[in-house]
Structure formats: structure tokens, C-alpha cells
Amino acid sequence: MAEQLRIVLASMGVKEFALLHEVCVHAGHLPVGYACSRSIRPRGEVDSQAVGVASGLLGAIPATVDLLLPADADGLGRAMTGYRPDLLIVYGFNWILPESVLAIPRLGALNVHSSLLPRYRGPAPVLWAIRNGDAAVGVTVHRMDAGVDTGPILAQRGDVPLDDDVTPDRLWPRLRPVLAAVLVDALRKVATGTPGDPQGGGDSCPARFLEPEYSRVDWSRSAREIHNQVRVFGFIGSQEAPVALVDGRWLRLIRTSLVPVVGGHQVDCGDGHAIWIVESTPVPPPATTPVAGT
């Protein structure tokens, strides 16, 4: 019979914790703690996302599992030590964890990452896949090391479609079974001592946080780039949609199309192709100097 592993889970979403827990239990392992950061940065002010996740977890966490809300990585390390974990599994956690924390679990730490590594290393892989117009995303589970998403790969699978109108709620039903299958495979390899395959250089386009300038539309760019820009913010949330100067008015672009839409407002872009504004809301002029508009 396979060894039962004591596992600490670290994430920033109720459904993500639920999936990790379910996979671990079905594989015969024992989740002993959920770790959720209280802030975007260690020792930062408690943010609304953390409050929402913690509140949701209080109603969903199994009675046998403790909820950890550390102030920083050192606090997480001290808390984990008391649980004598065999493994740490991370999925979408806010902080970069130092080697001193990764070394606490007997078998190290795994990271679940929503890309086919080495492509899109960083905190925003899905956003960059949408930004670059990728037709699909993938999932990788790798061992964690001192780098960011650079450790040996244990399991990987692609071909999760990205629809033109992709949102987290639309993507999750497709992503969830792939995440589960890849994690099951990775746990099996951890149990047998498989070290994983080192990552090559490959196509390692970084997936850093979006630059502030990306929230403003530059009509000198191609129609496809601008459409994908609107799609990126549609994934984040329409209230964050990019702003654009259109016929002397500032608009927040919520939805666009690359083909003519009845009632849509046509704008010519820098590559000579047009884009149609399907949904927008007026906004006050930005405080800073605008980029080129129409």
C-alpha cells in the first residue's frame, strides 16, 4: 500500500483549495493545513481578496484541517513545522517562498502552474496567454526551487481551449479536470521518488504582472493586439477594462470584435485593420497624458 503523505496546501481561492484537497484525498493522502496569505506582499495590509477567501474557507474547510493565515513566509514556515508535513502543494499563492520554507516538508514542495513551462513563468500565465492570442493554455506541476517556476517538471498537459470571450468562470470547468489529472500524475511520481525533468530554456516568455500602461489603449497597435487587450481585462473583470480615446470621448472598452457587429462602433487601428467596439462605458479623462487616439 502506498505511503500516506501529510500535505499542506497553499493557495488563494476557495475552489482551488477544494480541488487540491479532493485530489490529495483520492490519492490516499492527508491534507493537514490550508495556508492563505493575508496580503499581496508579505507583512502588507490585509487586502479584500484575502478577506473574501478566508471568509469563504471558514464555511468550506473540512473540520479536520487547520486554516493558516501567516503574515509572511517565515510565519508560514514556523506554522508548517508543527504539522510535520511530507509535502507542500502551492497553487496561485501570492508570495515567492524562500528555500528555507521549501525545505521544511520532507519531500519538498510542488507548484501547480497554469502554463506549459518554461513558457509563461510568473504570476499571470493565463493573462499573458490571452494577451498573446494563444488558442489554449496548459498545466504544469513542478518541483519548487529557488527560482520562479524553474524547478523540474513532474507532469504537464496542454490543450485547454481559450475562447474569445474567456472568463474565469468559463475557463474553470475546462481547466479543473486537467489540473486534477496532472496533479494525480505528479503525486504518483513524488511517491516513487521521481526527481522530475529539468526545464530547458525553450520559449520562456515571462508572465509578469501587467504594466500600468497596458490599461490604456494605443490605437497605433494592431486590431488583434487591442482586441486581446480588451479580452485580458475581460478576464480580470469588466470594471478594470482598458480606457481609450474614441472620437474625442474617453471610453472604457468592455467588449470588442474583429468582425463587423450590428450597432458596433468601428475604429481603424495601426495595422490598417478595423475593430468594432461592442460594449463600453464613458469615463472621465485620465489624469496623465494620453496615448494616441482617434
- Residue 237: its pLDDT value, please? 86
Question: Which residues fall within 8 angstroms of residue 106, CB to CB, at 6 or more apart?
Answer: 85, 86, 87
- Residue 47: its pLDDT value, please? 82
- Residue 50: its pLDDT value, please? 84
- Residue 1: its pLDDT value, please? 55
Q: Do 131 and 229 contact (CB within 8 A), yes or no?
A: yes
Domains and CATH numbers, the chain: 6-191 (3.40.50.170), 212-282 (3.10.25.10)
Between the alpha carbon of residue 158 and those of residues 92, 115, 123, 136, 227, the distances in Å are 18, 8, 18, 7, 24
Mean pLDDT by 10 residues, the chain (294 residues): 89 95 97 93 86 90 94 94 97 94 97 96 96 97 96 96 96 97 98 94 84 96 98 89 95 97 97 97 78 45
Strand-pair partners of 255: 279
Helix axis angle, 14-26 to 168-191, nearest 10°: 30
* CA separation for the pair 153, 26 (Å, rounded): 22
For the chain, counts of helices (H) and of strands (E): 7, 11
Strand-pair partners of 109: 88
Q: Do 120 and 191 contact (CB within 8 A), yes or no?
A: no
Between the alpha carbon of residue 39 and those of residues 45, 46, 108, 189, 238, the distances in Å are 6, 5, 24, 33, 23
